[in-house]
Amino acid sequence: MGNIKRVRYKTKRRQIVGERPGTISIADDALKPIITVYSYNEKELVCADGHDLKVILDQFKKCKDHTHWIQIRGLNDEKLIEDIGTYLKINPLVLEDIVNTHQRPKFDEYDGYFFTVIRQVYYNADNELCNNQFSAIVKPGLIVSFEETHDEHFEAVKARLAGGKGAIRTAGPGYLCYALTDTIIDTYFVLLAHIGDELDAIEDRLYSHADKSIMYDAQQLKRTLIILRRITWPERDKINDILRSENPLITAEVKTFLKDAYDHIIQVMDLIENYKEIAGSVIDLYLSMVSNRMNEIMKVLTIISVIFIPLTFVAGIYGMNFARIDPATNKVMPDNMPELYSPHGYIYTLGGMVLIGIIQVIVFWKKGWFTKL
Amino acid sequence: MGNIKRVRYKTKRRQIVGERPGTISIADDALKPIITVYSYNEKELVCADGHDLKVILDQFKKCKDHTHWIQIRGLNDEKLIEDIGTYLKINPLVLEDIVNTHQRPKFDEYDGYFFTVIRQVYYNADNELCNNQFSAIVKPGLIVSFEETHDEHFEAVKARLAGGKGAIRTAGPGYLCYALTDTIIDTYFVLLAHIGDELDAIEDRLYSHADKSIMYDAQQLKRTLIILRRITWPERDKINDILRSENPLITAEVKTFLKDAYDHIIQVMDLIENYKEIAGSVIDLYLSMVSNRMNEIMKVLTIISVIFIPLTFVAGIYGMNFARIDPATNKVMPDNMPELYSPHGYIYTLGGMVLIGIIQVIVFWKKGWFTKL
Amino acid sequence: MGNIKRVRYKTKRRQIVGERPGTISIADDALKPIITVYSYNEKELVCADGHDLKVILDQFKKCKDHTHWIQIRGLNDEKLIEDIGTYLKINPLVLEDIVNTHQRPKFDEYDGYFFTVIRQVYYNADNELCNNQFSAIVKPGLIVSFEETHDEHFEAVKARLAGGKGAIRTAGPGYLCYALTDTIIDTYFVLLAHIGDELDAIEDRLYSHADKSIMYDAQQLKRTLIILRRITWPERDKINDILRSENPLITAEVKTFLKDAYDHIIQVMDLIENYKEIAGSVIDLYLSMVSNRMNEIMKVLTIISVIFIPLTFVAGIYGMNFARIDPATNKVMPDNMPELYSPHGYIYTLGGMVLIGIIQVIVFWKKGWFTKL
Amino acid sequence: MGNIKRVRYKTKRRQIVGERPGTISIADDALKPIITVYSYNEKELVCADGHDLKVILDQFKKCKDHTHWIQIRGLNDEKLIEDIGTYLKINPLVLEDIVNTHQRPKFDEYDGYFFTVIRQVYYNADNELCNNQFSAIVKPGLIVSFEETHDEHFEAVKARLAGGKGAIRTAGPGYLCYALTDTIIDTYFVLLAHIGDELDAIEDRLYSHADKSIMYDAQQLKRTLIILRRITWPERDKINDILRSENPLITAEVKTFLKDAYDHIIQVMDLIENYKEIAGSVIDLYLSMVSNRMNEIMKVLTIISVIFIPLTFVAGIYGMNFARIDPATNKVMPDNMPELYSPHGYIYTLGGMVLIGIIQVIVFWKKGWFTKL
Amino acid sequence: MGNIKRVRYKTKRRQIVGERPGTISIADDALKPIITVYSYNEKELVCADGHDLKVILDQFKKCKDHTHWIQIRGLNDEKLIEDIGTYLKINPLVLEDIVNTHQRPKFDEYDGYFFTVIRQVYYNADNELCNNQFSAIVKPGLIVSFEETHDEHFEAVKARLAGGKGAIRTAGPGYLCYALTDTIIDTYFVLLAHIGDELDAIEDRLYSHADKSIMYDAQQLKRTLIILRRITWPERDKINDILRSENPLITAEVKTFLKDAYDHIIQVMDLIENYKEIAGSVIDLYLSMVSNRMNEIMKVLTIISVIFIPLTFVAGIYGMNFARIDPATNKVMPDNMPELYSPHGYIYTLGGMVLIGIIQVIVFWKKGWFTKL
């Protein structure tokens, strides 16, 4: 219908009624996991890749006084997730939430660790809107992150880790968790900038060469904004929860930075509201434009019709065949349409028609029907 | 009118003004009760069936150190309910609420037991939306549940009871109450998945072959969503109340699971809002489509009319019968329609008509009337 | 306009600017009071009727250890109300509120007594919506109730008083005040059931034989619901205030029952919202139906017009009188409408017309103009 | 456009950017002040008139143990206001607020006095809506009130002062401040009664002889209600602030009366909401009436057109001039319009036309086009 | 499209995903900074101009017991801002916020200083809406303000500084910060007065000579109001935060004035709501006017058409060529259109037409079609 792909809201939740809580049931289209481990301290950064628990355990042995970031991309390995859960002593409900990738942003504190969820919303390579789940378990000296796709979203963070400037190598797993969260929030700005550009383009199109795709496109953007709004509100609450939390993993230093992230999410919400209002106003202006166009067309028809209707009637009158002479009897009937037999009847009639037309135009002009409204 | 059955909101409350509070007045169309008793402890699960109090008392005698789940399906037995109330020392107001099946979700604590209500919303076999009441009295070692229909909604819970894995056999009646509640919340997801599919189908229909049943169907789905929203809001408050309660029947273990149920109900609310917005946007798009179609039809009429009106008028002019020669007097009147007697009058007239038509098409095209808006 | 009487919102407040607070100014159309005194204790119920203070004082003398319910119906007796105020030592502001029958539901505690207001909303015998004030002063051993009309609303309560079953004869004036309140809330359910039936009937009419009274009727029902909503919200707050009050006249037993009344008023509010949404959806469906009907009519006109416009034009062409032979000069002009003088011109023309018509029908059918939208 | 004067919202604030706070800048169209001093105690009431500070100082000297009410109507005397400020030791910000007559209702406590603002909204003699500021400084034994116009709004209060009944002469300046506030709130009821009458009249007009002034009038009333709502909300908050204040000028007695005023302002807010909804429903009904009227007109046109279009076409067919005999060659062409030369062709044609017409009427009636929708 | 320039909402934020927090990244189109230093105490005011840190350090040396206001207009000097940050020991997050000029109004307290942001919204010389950031760092004896443009907004404050009257020279940097904030709030009133005048002009245009630019202009004003509302809400919260703060830089004296600024921002919010409602009501009235105009045009067409359709049909009937005499056979066919050969057929026909017309006019007039609705 328009330039923008249709945005679908369908939930991915699998419905098994009455299932035991804590059951790990992985969606059929989930991807196989890729595990990357980053172990770092002030002095060095050690990386390792793999597909099973072994790579993690090896790294733990090798790097004893490091902070570890275990990045797991792809969730289609029930065993791996259960093993991690057992090894790190994670509540089964948390494991269920990790694979059940429809969680709202949240921050749950457990004994000795916390669990946090944030949504990743972006247009993928096919220009379709994705709404994936990023979750992380944070323990002292350790952060395990889970993503749905194999896409790379954290190049900049990895570069900062490699560079080693700033607090990133020294401020603990809580800071890294903040850095990943803030990076995801930054992608919201990218998405919103994209939406802003689309809206601007639609509005330009509205004034230059409006067509009916405008309605459809504006509505798709509105939907995207609604999705985004639905995840930023709980995100804001989540960050607030973290700021109020007295968890030792959230140091005072991390809280200072989180306040900054809080400001960012507020700005995201502001932008969303702005863009929703533009989308709405674009739709309103488009509808008023359509109705203006129709009104103008109708008005022209009306005026032309109204002018010609009586004239055509007059022509119809003088097209009647009332006979001056009955051909059967040759009787003359002088009362039948004598105008037709007056020497200047035609001239007078045409003149009368012109007059009627002019009077009508004057009347309509007086009524202001020719003004564009 | 459409594919979806009309959703009715009619209340079933019987109106007897000024009745003594605590009076048990059963609706005329209530079903006869079926009683099933499940008595279980860590080691075994004992079941019994029946239609009166006896089966319950027998089971109590037989299974002394078990937790009992008395499932009563159908409420049309005033005596049975009164007897249970007397035997378990339940407040008459609770008994009134059990049979008056229009209660909102609630959690009321009494001395030594608590009473809870949740709504069961689902499409029945006839594809009609049902909104029934599930209520339960929970005492130490005992849960009595009341349902309106004989339908089986708790197969999965019964299977888990029989299987005996997890906390279900050991965590007391509070846990079972949670398990039943969570199972009902799971059915909301099933209902919402159904609604989501319907909405998707309606939206597909909108783009492929829109007809007027779309409006009706979308409105019925919106109603269902409104009903669902109206019961999930108090449900959320109810779970919150339970979480804040210090009732010994709600152990810390149960509360951990209830927090999970709380997340689920929040997700239900999110989905409802999502789907309400799609339903609204489907209606909006449909209406704009209808209006586009009408506008296009009107535009074609208008343009064709406006083109032919002056041409037809010209034809009318030359259809007039102003006489060149008065048949009565044979007087020649050269001023009457001399065009008709010019050798190429017809050719010129046709040419003029074509010219008028072309000029009009050019003018309308310049005004952009041929663009689809 | 429709089946339902027009609902008027006009306030009955008399506007005297700057009046001394506590002034008793009775509306002109108020009714003369009827006083009924019910004095009861566990053993007996003594009744008395009258029109002045004497009947009350007599009863006080006669029944020394009874609880008294003085029911005053009709307020048009300034002296009576002042006397009662003086005798019972009531604040003049309370007396002003009793006769100024536009108070919102409220619960005001004073030294040694409390004052409560609730609205009575019902259709009277003429099927007009009434919105009257019920107010009551409750002191230890005494309740004085004031109503605007002589209508009987408390038959059931009086029967229960006479019957003497339950708490009514023993639980004090606070319980009686609850019983009267709950009875009035019950009438809201009656009113809502009536509205629900009307809405159902309107919706049935919508699908069977819609006419323009639907709009009017739905709007009147919406108004009634708005009035009802406006009095139930403060009613809920009022009951909450009573529940939180530590007034000795509100015993713990009464509070248990009031919680039940609280649930009822919440259900009333739920029903109101339900019905408001149906009323709105009925109006929406009706409007879409009207517009569908109009669109269909317009479409038929358009298609028929567009088909006939060119055909009629062709007929007009061949109705022109371009002469083959000038009757004045007998000059033959072979270029003037030679079609008319071709042996099968008429057949060919008719054939051409049919062809044009068929082509148009095909084009319109391809454009989907014949689908019902 | 209609019966009601256009309501303007224009602010009167003078915009001087960056002015020193506390600057007294009087609007150009302010009126010269009239000062009236009322000094009263339990025994007597002494009045004095004047235009400058002298009258106030004289009265202070003359009446030593009286409460003084200094009523200043008209604010166009910078010196007077500064002198009063200096004499009574008032904060310059208060003086700025007194002359800057666009303050919202508020209650500001200062050391030894309080300052309060309330809006006076009424139709003036020219039937224009006025929205003026009433402000008052209250100190022990003294109240100074400031009004924008010379109009008399407090006749009733002055009469009560003269009469000396009730608390007015004894309860101090806090009570007088309450009395003036309550009197202004009473005028809101007068205004609302006026609006209610107007709305009723508009609604009557809607049913008897609707014209397009209805829309305009309803919109003006809505505006008035919006203005009124905008001042009652902060007024309510203000009274709440006073009730919670522990200022010794607000005695317990005054608070009892203020609770009554609080009830009044709540009633005002209720009425405003009521009337806003009627105004909205009047507009909705009017619009639906307009659209019904148009639809009916269009339907009649459509049906008449559709009936006559084929008939006129048939007449056009038989008005064609296909020649039976070529006048140039006298060749007979029997295929050209043989109907015209059939002895009963005319009768059959007329009959056919009547038949077509009847069939169309039946078809349209079957489709329900003759029902009023 | 209209008289008012299109308002754009595009954000200026640069999107660098995953950047280290505290990075100073200056927008490409930022202006080079102009530094002006005002050092004042009770006795004197010393000014200095420059483009780098040197002018500030010089002034610090020269004026030891003065309060310094360092006004920096233009932010395009990363080094300068970093140097100031280092010299004054400012948190890098604050520096990032200074150059990232999309902050919401806020008040952040740090150790030994506070940071505050307010938005400057105004029409620039090109009549485009600007929404720039004003931020300030306040330390004991020092305020550093940052603006985006070189425009002068604080002439009045500088004049008051030069004049030396009032608290400005003695009340410390907190007071100056208040004075600058209040001056910016004053510009909101100027902007709103401008919007108010535009709205009034649009409304006047609506009643005198409405055209389609009204819609566009009203929508642009609405957008401006939305932008303004979006910055006044957090501004109000910000002032509230300052009022509740116990920062020693915010003295009790400053708080008294801030309460006044708080009242101003509330008035701004009130005005915004007022104007938004007028803008909405202007759009509503305009749309109803357009639809009235169209309805009137359509009605006239309809009535004229309906009157002429049967008349034209009659003329068409008598324009048919059914032959009285077959020219080929000379057979007389008396049943073919005998009216044409009646001596007064024409007169009667014309009379019949006039009659039909009159009857129609009467019918339509009875139906009230000639009333303006």
Chains meeting B at 3+ CB pairs closer than 8 A? A, C
Are B267 and B342 part of one and the same domain?
no
Q: What percentage of chain D exceeds 90 in pLDDT?
A: 54
Amino acid at A96: E
The predicted model gives E327-350 an average pLDDT of 87
State how far the Cα of C344 lies from the Cα of D335, in Å rounded to an integer. 6
A:B CB pairs within 8 Å: 177
Q: How many domains does chain B have?
A: 2
E248 located within any domain: yes
Does A298 contact B298 at a Cβ distance shorter than 8 Å?
yes
Q: Which domain holds residue C352?
A: 293-366
Interface test with C, best of B289, B294, B296, B353 (most C CBs within 10 A): B294
So what's the pLDDT on residue A303?
Answer: 84
So what's the pLDDT on residue A11?
Answer: 58
So what's the pLDDT on residue D373?
Answer: 62
Question: What does the mean pLDDT of chain B come to?
Answer: 89
Chain E residues 212-251 with a CB less than 8 Å from chain D: none
Confidence class for position E12, pLDDT limits 50, 70, 90:
low
So what's the pLDDT on residue B107?
Answer: 95
> Is any Cβ of chain E less than 8 angstroms from the Cβ of D27?
no
So what's the pLDDT on residue C370?
Answer: 79
CA–CA distance from B58 to each of B46, B113, C333, E12 (Å)? 12, 22, 118, 77
Provide, as residue numbers in chain E, all residues whose Cβ is less than 8 Å from the Cβ of D111.
none
Asked whether A167 and A243 are in contact (CB, 8 A), the reply is no
> Is any Cβ of chain A less than 8 angstroms from the Cβ of E21?
yes
Six-digit token string for D71: 């009523």
Helix-helix angle B252-317:A92-99, to 10 degrees? 20
Are E220 and E320 part of one and the same domain?
no
Are B55 and B145 part of one and the same domain?
yes
Are E188 and E62 part of one and the same domain?
yes
- Domain closes at, from D288, D303, D333: D288
Are E58 and E72 part of one and the same domain?
yes
pLDDT of A108 > 80? The answer is yes
Per the model's pLDDT, the better-predicted residue between D160 and B5 turns out to be D160
Per the model's pLDDT, the better-predicted residue between D322 and B69 turns out to be B69
> Is any Cβ of chain C less than 8 angstroms from the Cβ of B12?
no
So what's the pLDDT on residue A236?
Answer: 95
The predicted model gives C73-88 an average pLDDT of 94
A2 located within any domain: no
Provide, as residue numbers in chain A, all residues whose Cβ is less than 8 Å from the Cβ of B200.
8, 10
The predicted model gives C136-157 an average pLDDT of 94
State how far the Cα of A67 lies from the Cα of A52, in Å rounded to an integer. 20
C371 located within any domain: no
> Is any Cβ of chain A less than 8 angstroms from the Cβ of E43?
no
Are E326 and E270 part of one and the same domain?
no
Confidence class for position A13, pLDDT limits 50, 70, 90:
low
Provide, as residue numbers in chain E, all residues whose Cβ is less than 8 Å from the Cβ of A273.
230
Chains meeting C at 3+ CB pairs closer than 8 A? B, D
Does D192 contact C91 at a Cβ distance shorter than 8 Å?
no
* CA distance, residue B160 to nearest chain A CA (Å): 8
Confidence class for position C1, pLDDT limits 50, 70, 90:
low
| Nearest Cβ partner for E343 among A155, A335, A367 | A335
* CA distance, residue C26 to nearest chain D CA (Å): 17
The predicted model gives B173-187 an average pLDDT of 94
Q: What percentage of chain B exceeds 70 in pLDDT?
A: 97
Does C337 contact D321 at a Cβ distance shorter than 8 Å?
yes
So what's the pLDDT on residue B366?
Answer: 87
* CA distance, residue E167 to nearest chain A CA (Å): 34
Per the model's pLDDT, the better-predicted residue between D296 and A107 turns out to be A107
- Rg of chain D, C-alpha, whole Å: 37
Does E13 contact A298 at a Cβ distance shorter than 8 Å?
no
The predicted model gives E216-245 an average pLDDT of 92
Asked whether D261 and D185 are in contact (CB, 8 A), the reply is yes
Does D341 contact E321 at a Cβ distance shorter than 8 Å?
no
Question: What does the mean pLDDT of chain A come to?
Answer: 89
Are D63 and D193 part of one and the same domain?
yes
Residue A96: which residues within 8 A CB-CB, separation 6 or more?
Answer: A21, A22, A23, A24, A25, B260
Amino acid at E161: L
pLDDT of B49 > 80? The answer is yes
E178 located within any domain: yes
Does A295 contact E294 at a Cβ distance shorter than 8 Å?
yes
- Domain closes at, from D231, D255, D288: D288
Q: Give the residue among D72, D73, D86, D104 at the shortest CA–CA distance from D24.
A: D86
Does D326 contact C325 at a Cβ distance shorter than 8 Å?
no
Provide, as residue numbers in chain A, all residues whose Cβ is less than 8 Å from the Cβ of E298.
298, 302
D1 located within any domain: no
Lowest mean pLDDT segment, chosen from A25-39, C74-88, D317-331: D317-331
So what's the pLDDT on residue C238?
Answer: 96
pLDDT of C223 > 60? The answer is yes
Q: How many CB atoms lie within 10 A of CB B177?
A: 25
Asked whether E301 and D305 are in contact (CB, 8 A), the reply is no
The predicted model gives E96-117 an average pLDDT of 93
The predicted model gives E180-208 an average pLDDT of 90
Interface test with E, best of A176, A266, A336, A363 (most E CBs within 10 A): A336
So what's the pLDDT on residue D1?
Answer: 55
C-alpha angle A319-A324-A329 in degrees, rounded to nearest 5: 130
Q: Give the residue among B275, B281, B271 at the shortest CA–CA distance from B207.
A: B281
CATH code for position C73 = 3.30.460.20
B342 located within any domain: yes
B135: left (phi over 0), alpha (psi -120 to 50) or beta: beta
Q: Give the residue among D138, D269, D132 at the shortest CA–CA distance from D192.
A: D269
So what's the pLDDT on residue B10?
Answer: 59
So what's the pLDDT on residue B370?
Answer: 79
CA–CA distance from D64 to each of B77, D44, D58, D172 (Å)? 83, 12, 11, 15
> Is any Cβ of chain B less than 8 angstroms from the Cβ of C196?
yes
Does A324 contact B322 at a Cβ distance shorter than 8 Å?
no
CATH code for position D308 = 1.20.58.340
Are D300 and D274 part of one and the same domain?
no
pLDDT of C267 > 80? The answer is yes
DSSP string, A335-371: TS-GGGGSTTHHHHHHHHHHHHHHHHHHHHHHTTTTS
> Is any Cβ of chain E less than 8 angstroms from the Cβ of A47?
no
- Domain closes at, from E288, E321, E354: E288
State how far the Cα of B149 lies from the Cα of B33, in Å rounded to an integer. 9
pLDDT of E219 > 80? The answer is yes
| Nearest Cβ partner for C267 among B102, B287, B339 | B102
pLDDT digit string (tens) for A127-141? 888 999 999 999 999
Does B320 contact A321 at a Cβ distance shorter than 8 Å?
no
Provide, as residue numbers in chain B, all residues whose Cβ is less than 8 Å from the Cβ of C312.
312
B22 located within any domain: yes
Provide, as residue numbers in chain C, all residues whose Cβ is less than 8 Å from the Cβ of D207.
1
State how far the Cα of A164 lies from the Cα of D13, in Å rounded to an integer. 58
So what's the pLDDT on residue E4?
Answer: 78
pLDDT digit string (tens) for C330-364? 888 888 888 888 888 889 999 999 999 999 999 98
pLDDT digit string (tens) for C186-210? 999 999 989 998 998 998 888 887 7
Q: What percentage of chain A exceeds 70 in pLDDT?
A: 97
Proportion of chain D in helix, strand, coil states, percent, rounded to 5 = 55, 15, 30
> Is any Cβ of chain D less than 8 angstroms from the Cβ of C209?
yes
So what's the pLDDT on residue A136?
Answer: 97
Provide, as residue numbers in chain B, all residues whose Cβ is less than 8 Å from the Cβ of C328.
324-325, 332, 334, 341
Tokens 């932010």 identify what position?
E75
Are E257 and E330 part of one and the same domain?
no
Question: Sheet of D113-123: strands edge to edge?
Answer: D45-50, D34-40, D67-73, D142-147, D129-139, D113-123, D106-110
Interface test with A, best of E24, E215, E227, E297 (most A CBs within 10 A): E297
> Is any Cβ of chain D less than 8 angstroms from the Cβ of C91?
yes
Question: What does the mean pLDDT of chain D come to?
Answer: 89
* CA distance, residue D227 to nearest chain E CA (Å): 8
Q: How many residues does chain B have?
A: 373
- What's the half-sphere exposure (Cβ side, CA atoms, 13 Å) at C45? 16
pLDDT digit string (tens) for B269-298? 999 998 998 888 888 888 888 888 888 888
> Is any Cβ of chain E less than 8 angstroms from the Cβ of D294?
yes
CA of residue B67 relative to chain centroid, distance = 37
> What does DSSP assign to residue A206?
H
Are E271 and E329 part of one and the same domain?
no
Provide, as residue numbers in chain A, all residues whose Cβ is less than 8 Å from the Cβ of B339.
none
Tokens 């997340």 identify what position?
B263
C372 located within any domain: no
State how far the Cα of D37 lies from the Cα of D47, in Å rounded to an integer. 6
The predicted model gives B238-242 an average pLDDT of 95
Are A181 and A306 part of one and the same domain?
no
The predicted model gives E72-92 an average pLDDT of 94
Does B320 contact A318 at a Cβ distance shorter than 8 Å?
yes
Does C266 contact B293 at a Cβ distance shorter than 8 Å?
no
Are E33 and E122 part of one and the same domain?
yes
State how far the Cα of B200 lies from the Cα of B282, in Å rounded to an integer. 10
> Is any Cβ of chain C less than 8 angstroms from the Cβ of B293?
yes
Does C104 contact D270 at a Cβ distance shorter than 8 Å?
yes
Ranges of residues in chain D with a pLDDT under 50 are none
pLDDT of C33 > 80? The answer is yes
